[in-house]
Structure 1
């Protein structure tokens, strides 16, 4: 029996006319696109982004609790370098590295009931004193890199001192709060999609909002699964069509 790949946390759907692309990042940002095959997410993401063609607009849809810092940064930098105008839509939650990732967009839109969470980078470490000191130094460098992305987006609405305070406090920002700090450009009407988070992140995050603590772990409904499968099928069909006319 052929082993099936698990669904990746991302998908990219090109429009039929080749002028725009939709990028979906739903769930935990993982190092591997498909664990069974050991393919790095950022490599597969770049391949799929290249396949979308010479688009002028990218709509980035995000609902994620965070995950791998380096994969998230790699994807963010790809989007930042892309010549297309990138519009990020926070569907419900952009936490941790997912919140950093959307800072690569030219425009960030959040429904009034969506959330953005910012915190300092952290990791697990083991080894001798020198190895642990190196791990701490590495985290400081990662923090500086992610802080700069927030500051570049915020402009004069957020200074480094206030940002450090937000990061140190693992701060969960409403859409209006994100807007006030320059980390969001447009607050839209409330979205029917509800922010949720699985048990893994409930245990890891310190200041998890009460409404997220009380929610049951997110389970993909049959309707959502069918929608994702439809998106993937449409994407393949669009790319096949584009290949016939290029």
Structure 2
């Protein structure tokens, strides 16, 4: 993690740049959505919520997705918070990364000009089926279908599209550039220099 040098009463000190951003209520989801990354996000979100739930939080996302359960934990946390959270897609918000983005309100989903969003049906995962009985396989498939229905309902609700339309789109990996994401209801705005300047203003509690 890179450090920056700050001048304090103790003199010049190296400070992790993530700590500086956290103080300004800016956090990052970079890389895979998993237990570790999502636990860190939830801790940061709840810390800022406890500090001052009237101030905005900015979540920068560049993620290929990952674990459904971990991602839904972040989604639920953001939805329950009073602090207004803005998502900024800096590279790609794919799979569960897109679901986390959709936790933010419709007017608070921003994208850099070259960024993308990808949505699709959830997949089986990495569990081996060898040695499983037919009933056990049926149970696994039933659970997978239930999870997929939950994700489709989230996308439909948060984008304003019908469940049927979303189901048709998520049958395969569907990529959206910034303009296409806005048209589908996934995002609200492409960031320009003025918008970026507003986002980067210091707003620490």
State the TM bucket, normalised to the shorter chain.
0.7 to 0.9
Query: What is the match of residue 149 of structure 2?
Result: 144
* Partner Cα separation in structure 2 for residue 14 and residue 69 of structure 1: 29
* Partner Cα separation in structure 2 for residue 140 and residue 22 of structure 1: 35
Query: What is the match of residue 91 of structure 1?
Result: 90
TM-score (norm 2): 0.75
Q: CA deviation at 1:175?
A: 1.0
Runs (5+) with no aligned partner, structure 2: 1-17, 194-203
* Per-residue Cα deviation, 1:84-122 (whole angstroms, up to 9, x for no partner): 111110001000110111100021011221110011011
Which of 135, 143, 147 matches 2:140? 135
Query: What is the match of residue 32 of structure 1?
Result: 36
**Aligned pairs, number:** 168
Q: Contact (CA 8 Å) 2:29, 2:41: kept in 1 or not?
A: no
2:22 partner SS: strand
* Partner Cα separation in structure 1 for residue 36 and residue 162 of structure 2: 35
Q: CA deviation at 1:60?
A: 0.9
Which of 178, 188, 191 matches 2:191? 188
* Partner Cα separation in structure 2 for residue 59 and residue 32 of structure 1: 20
TM-score (norm 1): 0.63
Task: Give yes or no for the alignment of 1:115 onto 2:119.
Answer: no
Map 1:153-172 → 2, pairs under 5 A? 153-155=158-160, 158-172=161-175
Runs (5+) with no aligned partner, structure 1: 1-9, 16-20, 34-40, 191-237
1:147 partner SS: helix
Query: What is the match of residue 22 of structure 2?
Result: 13
Q: CA deviation at 1:32?
A: 3.2
Q: CA deviation at 1:189?
A: 4.4
* Partner Cα separation in structure 2 for residue 146 and residue 14 of structure 1: 32
- Flag as ranges the 4+ runs of structure 1 deviating above 6 A: none
* Partner Cα separation in structure 2 for residue 92 and residue 71 of structure 1: 21
